[in-house]
Amino acid sequence: MLLVGDPIGYVAQSSRVDRARWGRTARVGVVADELTGQGVLRLGRREFGPGEFALMAIVNRTPDSFYDRGATYATDKAYDAIARAVEHGADLVDIGGVKAGYGEPVSEAEELRRTVDFVAGIRARHPDLVISVDTYRSGVARQVGAAGADLINDTWAGADPEMAAAAAETGAGLVCSHVGGLTPRTDPHRMAYDDVVADVIRTTTALAEKAVAAGVRQDAIVIDPTHDFGKNTLQSLELTRRLDELVATGWPVLVAVSNKDFIGETLDLPPGQRGNGTLAALSVSAWLGARVFRVHDVPAARQALDLIAVLRGSAQPAGTRRSLA
Amino acid sequence: MSVVAAAVCPHPPVLVPEVATGAAPELDDLRAACLTAIDRLADADRLVVVGSGSSRGQYDASAGGGFAPYGAPGVRFGTGDPVLPLSLAIGGWLLEQTKAAGLPRVYLSVAPDEAPADCLALGQEIAHGNDRIALLVMGDGSARRSEHSPVHLHPRSEIFDNTVASALAVADATTLAALDPDLATELHAAGRAPWQVLAATSDLTGELLYHAAPYGVGYFVATWT
């Protein structure tokens, strides 16, 4: 007799099986990031939980930007570029009316002409798309905010002292940057830091706190180490390597590494050939906890970020069947 | 004979949603069929789960099962280290979600190469006694059903699986008892030995709830009541 009358009987079990019956949809997306204490980022109509990567597509309204050389200067081309970016998985677009580096002076009136109607047009076409505008002028921030912008990307780190107030007035969020004290549209020369990461943390978190004091929503503020701006290549590499220290501040971290010179110098490659290096830097940043990624190549970045989200355990594979049937 | 009801279910790891990840909804119908079949065992006095393992073995009701070896460490049940072989782990995991979860239970593994006569003898041992016993029989059909199967297509796999499906549908113990162990091995049909344990059961009415090979492996769900 093998088993019948077995006296062990039934033992009450503490099952860890999910007892819910099936039929639920696959779990993709957010899980709480309990270790880092990161909160939800709310921009426009979107919410990005901890562990969820937000992808920001760059669309320039400039005739002279370093990477695309004015490819989307014309309005219809810019709208096409945005539609394509959304289709490829962009959560945000970042609209720039002024080239970051040296170039033709662009008056505030001209910058407004390039951005305000365009922002309103994007808003009309893409109600849920988060619209960011890259500007260092509070006057521009106010008007694009009124036209529907959700985020002001103040790349020049509060060069205009009215910027935080302008964002607060329109209800937009704010990107708090670090440029090592440079004035807008100037290049760094012999920038020196005792500890570049510490300097970035000090500057960006001070700007973030100032923004909160000015009335910007706390859950709409991100900090950006701003690679290359006010930094040499070694300093930008150091920031990438130690990005977890920025993440540990608790502020959501935006990284804009796409095709930048620190990648170019590292690999000895011109702007048109930095895509693979960009993905490497972006991937490391994502792994270390960055949450917003400003990129030129949306499909490539989306694919990399989706994979990293699964590797970090904040999303699940689309489906796993190999060797399991 | 005191086997009053039986359920037959497959045991692929991909049945567990945490293993299938985003593909989990593809087997919603199979999981539902399994749970329906096992729910029908709930009126018995005790339950015996039978499945293939590396050798003959017995595990008590609290034996641990889990799917960490297949990539889902979060899904576990029972107490202690997960010792149940895959077929019994799937069986226990399914059971936990059904009306039969509270029945006294025991798990039995049979070796894949056990002779039909030995399987039948085990079935008769299980049935012996006065208890009203329910069987949960874990077994997969051929893993050579298609060009995309885990093992490459075998021309006899479909007819083999259809034979099994027909037998399960009408509680035809004779056909199950006659399945050829060598052919089952060639066809990578893991269910042969457990089905032949079931073949010791008689006088029940069969119903086939599921028969398909969505990933190139034959899966069956049936009840005998």
Kindly report the three-state secondary structure assignment for every residue of A175-212: EECCCCCCCCCCCCCCCCCCCHHHHHHHHHHHHHHHHH
So what's the pLDDT on residue B117?
98
Q: Is B87 a residue whose pLDDT tops 90?
A: yes
User: Which among B14, B146, B152 is the top mutation candidate for probing chain A, defined by the most A β-carbons within 10 Å of its own β-carbon?
Assistant: B14
Structure tokens at A228: 């290359």
Structure tokens at A256: 């804009």
Partners of A306 on chain B (C-beta within 8 Å) are none
Q: Is B197 a residue whose pLDDT tops 70?
A: yes
Listing DSSP states for A102-167 in one string gives: S-S---HHHHHHHHHHHHHHHHHH-TTSEEEEE-S-HHHHHHHHHHT--EEEETTSSSSTTHHHHH
User: Which among A1, A11, A13, A316 is the top mutation candidate for probing chain B, defined by the most B β-carbons within 10 Å of its own β-carbon?
Assistant: A13
Q: Give the three-class secondary structure for A247.
A: helix
Share of chain A above pLDDT 70, in %: 86
Taking residues A113-135, what's their average pLDDT? 95
So what's the pLDDT on residue A177?
94
So what's the pLDDT on residue B156?
96
Give the pairing type, strands A173-176 and A151-154. parallel
Band of the pLDDT at A189, cuts 50, 70, 90? confident
Q: Does B79 touch chain A (CB under 8 A)?
A: yes
Partners of B93 on chain A (C-beta within 8 Å) are 17
So what's the pLDDT on residue B144?
95
So what's the pLDDT on residue A2?
34
The Cα A87–Cα A112 span in angstroms is: 27
Q: What is the ipTM of this complex?
A: 0.86
Q: Give the three-class secondary structure for B126.
A: helix
So what's the pLDDT on residue A68?
67
Partners of B150 on chain A (C-beta within 8 Å) are 323, 325
The model carries a pTM of: 0.82
Minimal C-alpha gap between B14 and chain A (Å): 5
**Please, what is the average pLDDT of chain A?**
86
CB contact under 8 A, B74 and A16: yes
Host H or E run for residue A168: helix A163-170
Taking residues A96-122, what's their average pLDDT? 87
Cβ atoms of residues B128 and B120 within 8 Å = no
Q: Which of A239-248, B111-120, B149-158, B204-213 has the lowest mean pLDDT?
A: B149-158
Q: Which of A156-160, A231-235, B128-132, B206-210 has the lowest mean pLDDT?
A: A156-160
Band of the pLDDT at B183, cuts 50, 70, 90? very high
Comparing alpha-carbon positions, the chain A residue that sits nearest to B148 is A322
Taking every pair of C-alpha atoms in chain B, what is the biggest distance, in angstroms?
48
So what's the pLDDT on residue B1?
52
So what's the pLDDT on residue A245?
97
Task: Give pLDDT tens digits for A277-303.
Answer: 999 999 999 999 999 999 999 999 999
Comparing alpha-carbon positions, the chain A residue that sits nearest to B125 is A1
The Cα A297–Cα A272 span in angstroms is: 11
pLDDT: is A182 or B52 the higher one?
B52
CB contact under 8 A, A2 and B126: yes
So what's the pLDDT on residue A190?
81
In this complex, the residue of B24, B75, B108 whose CB is nearest that of residue A17 is: B75
Band of the pLDDT at B53, cuts 50, 70, 90? very high
Share of chain B above pLDDT 90, in %: 94
B216 CB neighbour count, 10 Å cutoff: 20
Structure tokens at B44: 């018995």
Q: Is A73 a residue whose pLDDT tops 60?
A: yes
The b/e string for A62-75 (b: 16+ C-beta within 10 A; e otherwise) is bebbeebeeebbee
Taking residues B88-99, what's their average pLDDT? 98
